[in-house]
Structures are given as C-alpha cells and as structure tokens.
Amino acid sequence: MQPAEQKLKTVAKSPARNTPITEHLAYLLAQASREINRQLEARLRQEGVPVEQWRILKVLSDGAGHSMGELAEAVLLNHPTLTKMIDRMVSDALVYRVHDPDDRRKVLMYISERGKALAQRLNLLAQSQETHIAENCGDRATADLKRLLETLIERAG
C-alpha cells in the first residue's frame, strides 16, 4: 500500500466526534481549493482571463473536438455557465464550434490559433503557480498530495 493510500485510510477511520469545522475533510478541501484558485486567478488576471476559461482552453488544447457535455465534465462547470463562457470565447475568436460529422445534432468545440497562443501564455502562468506551491511545500509533498487527491477522487464514486 502506498503511503498516500495509508493516510487516506487513516483519515477515513477517524472516530466520529464533535470536531470543529476546520478539521473536516470537506472543509479543508474547499478551503485549499479556494486559496489555490485565488492565487491562480491573480496570476491569470495578467491576461484578463478567469480560471474557468483557462481550464476550457487547456482541455481544448489537445486538438480533439469535445462535446459540450464532455467539456462541462472536464472543466467542472454546469452547462448554462459553460454555454455563456463558450459564447464569449467564440466572440473573442478563442474557440469555435463544428457540427459533429457523426451526429449533426451534436456540436464539437475546438480551440482556434488565437486560443492556442493564449493557452500557451496561460499555461506558463499556471505552471508558475505549481512551482511556487512546490517550492513552499516541497516537491515530494506536492507530488504526494496530487496522488492522494487522485486516489480520493477515484475512490469517492
């Protein structure tokens, strides 16, 4: 068993008691997410781009067309919010829609050349944040945290 998995099992087996909210896993994850997103948002502000838009560009950078459903799942947005954001990104010529050749009712999203150029700049900013975290927490602890979170997400379902 990996050390990260052992930690996960230990946390899961903690006895139930009247603990302060700051000791609950859900609270700690939400607080960490809020802080990480705040820091990333500050970096991405240099390009005038919200975190969600970076996520969309990052996913679409693989060059494969993605349906709105796939994209919503991948970028952690609900459909109405994603649709509004995509409409703005289409207006800004960052992404474009193409009818799925296999199912004309479906639309696939692609990143434009302009979107690719922006995505490259944003990825450098996002990487600088990860580097900052690794410098403050240590490379090993950061890698362990990523593995632990991946395990938690995988097994939560």
Does residue 31 lie within any of the structural domains?
yes
Tell me which DSSP letter residue 15 carries.
P
Does residue 151 lie within any of the structural domains?
yes
Does residue 16 lie within any of the structural domains?
no
Question: Please, what sign has the CA dihedral across residues 111, 67, 51, 130?
Answer: negative
Does residue 118 lie within any of the structural domains?
yes
Does residue 126 lie within any of the structural domains?
yes
17 or 35, higher pLDDT: 35
Helices (DSSP H) in 13-157: which residue ranges? 25-44, 51-60, 68-75, 79-91, 113-137, 139-156
CATH number for the domain harbouring residue 74: 1.10.10.10
Contact 82, 68 (CB under 8 A): yes
Does residue 100 lie within any of the structural domains?
yes
Does residue 8 lie within any of the structural domains?
no
* Per-residue model confidence as pLDDT tens digits over 87-138: 999 999 999 999 998 888 899 999 999 999 999 999 999 999 999 999 999 9
Question: The domain containing residue 112 runs over which residues?
Answer: 23-156
Q: How many structural domains are present in the chain?
A: 1
Query: What's the whole-number average pLDDT of the chain?
Result: 91
Sheet bearing 103-111, strands edge to edge: 66-67, 103-111, 95-100
